Structure 1
Amino acid sequence: MTPQTPQPLTFDSLDTSSRDAVAELFTRTFTASEGEREGILVGNLASELAGLIDDQEVMAIGARQGDALVGCVIFSHLQFEHASRIFMLSPLAVRTAFQRQGIGSQLIRHGLEELQRRSVAVVVTYGDPAFYGKAGFQPIAPGTIQPPFPLSQPQGWLGCSLMGEPLPALPGRPTCVRPFRNPAYW
């Protein structure tokens, strides 16, 4: 018997019908890397966000191998009082067996390209500066773009301009989509 060649990865937009698969992906991935408590927390967040996918306020890109969801990135709208459309990248997960193959970077790239087509000017994230820095995210200077809630690790607040301009200074804290209104995520 000859071994089968793995199916190629495909990247596509997800909708609310993917909610269970998204929740399972994030729960398992974060449990494996951060422990059960974090896995449940992030899995619940991803499930709530996936239930809101409407391609306006919440957008998700999935990486699939055949029918299996092996990675996902979710973007959600941040509403500032006097600003154009700003989105937040969070969360992102790649199934443990598929990590370190560039899938996370490809998910980010696909998502940023789609947001750029939609004339989104800025994307922010709260995560590892070393990882997200490879995708063009840079630390946000204090007072430039505030997060929705105070951060436990301010060095992880990062931004990326999609229009080739410096990040704008935006007054006030933004309003985030409902699932992110839990201070435990910040």
Structure 2
Amino acid sequence: MKYALYKQEQTQEIVTLFNDTFSDSEGKEEGALIAKLVEDFLTLPTKDEDLYVFIAQDESERIVGSIIFSRLSFPNGENIFLLAPVAVATDRHGQGVGQGLIKFGLATLKEKGVTVAITYGDINFYSKIGFAPISQDVVQAPLGLSYPEGWIAQSLVGEAIPHVVGKPTCLKAIDNPSYW
């Protein structure tokens, strides 16, 4: 498995991966919603240092996984990123693709000075790679959470996650209550 940052010419293949994966697991409506989110992430103007899109490619160079990390901007400038969304091709589920890709992404962010990664998802999956539930008293979400138990985080610096003052803003692409 090859892990890398995506290249712009891979945009459509990545959007299709998210659409197909979420359509298979959650239905066509959810697939279209997440595909739109990913397309917005990849096409709306964003500073390079605020968005990291990683891919996993198999031996034939087919993109079989993709993850997106986007900056959460806090009043005091903490270096925290949101991991969302994540997709692994349906025919590659259960093979470690997602875990390997997320570990690669987290290591890359750590090298870039990111201190905390947060995601909003299934604790049963994300706990396998070091994420743990976090209270919004410690780090607030940028929008209201429909599933607060899914607010989970991981320190990338080996320390407890510090209390972060203030509510963050997120990138425009994900600044929509329907994603939260």
How many residues were matched structurally? 178
Residue in 1 that maps onto 2:174: 180
Moved over 3 A (4+): 52-55
Which protein has the bigger helix share?
Answer: 2
Q: Distance in 2 between matches of 1:17 and 1:145?
A: 35
Q: TM-score, normalised by structure 1?
A: 0.92
Contiguous gaps of at least 5 residues in structure 1: 1-8
- 1:79 counterpart (63, 67, 73): 73
More relative contact order, 1 or 2 (CA 8 Å, 6+ apart): 2
C-alpha RMSD of the superposition: 1.2
Worse-matched range after superposition: 47-56 or 148-157: 47-56
1:36-71 alpha-carbon deviations (Å, 9 max, x no partner): 110000111111112257641110110112231110
Q: TM-score, normalised by structure 2?
A: 0.95
Letter in 2 for 1:35: G
- 2:17 counterpart (12, 16, 25): 25
Task: Confirm or deny that 1:126 pairs with 2:112.
Answer: no
Residue in 1 that maps onto 2:30: 38
1:108-131 alpha-carbon deviations (Å, 9 max, x no partner): 000000000001100000000110
- 1:63 counterpart (49, 52, 56): 56
Shift of 1:17: 2.2
Letter in 1 for 2:2: T
Q: Distance in 1 between matches of 2:48 and 2:36?
A: 20
Worse-matched range after superposition: 55-64 or 155-164: 55-64
Q: Distance in 1 between matches of 2:153 and 2:64?
A: 26
For residue 62 of structure 1, give the secondary structure of its aligned residue in structure 2: strand
**Amino-acid identity (%):** 39
Contiguous gaps of at least 5 residues in structure 2: none
Worse-matched range after superposition: 51-60 or 64-73: 51-60
| Residue pairs, 1:31-180, within 5 angstroms | 31-51=23-43, 55-65=48-58, 66-180=60-174
Residue in 2 that maps onto 1:6: none
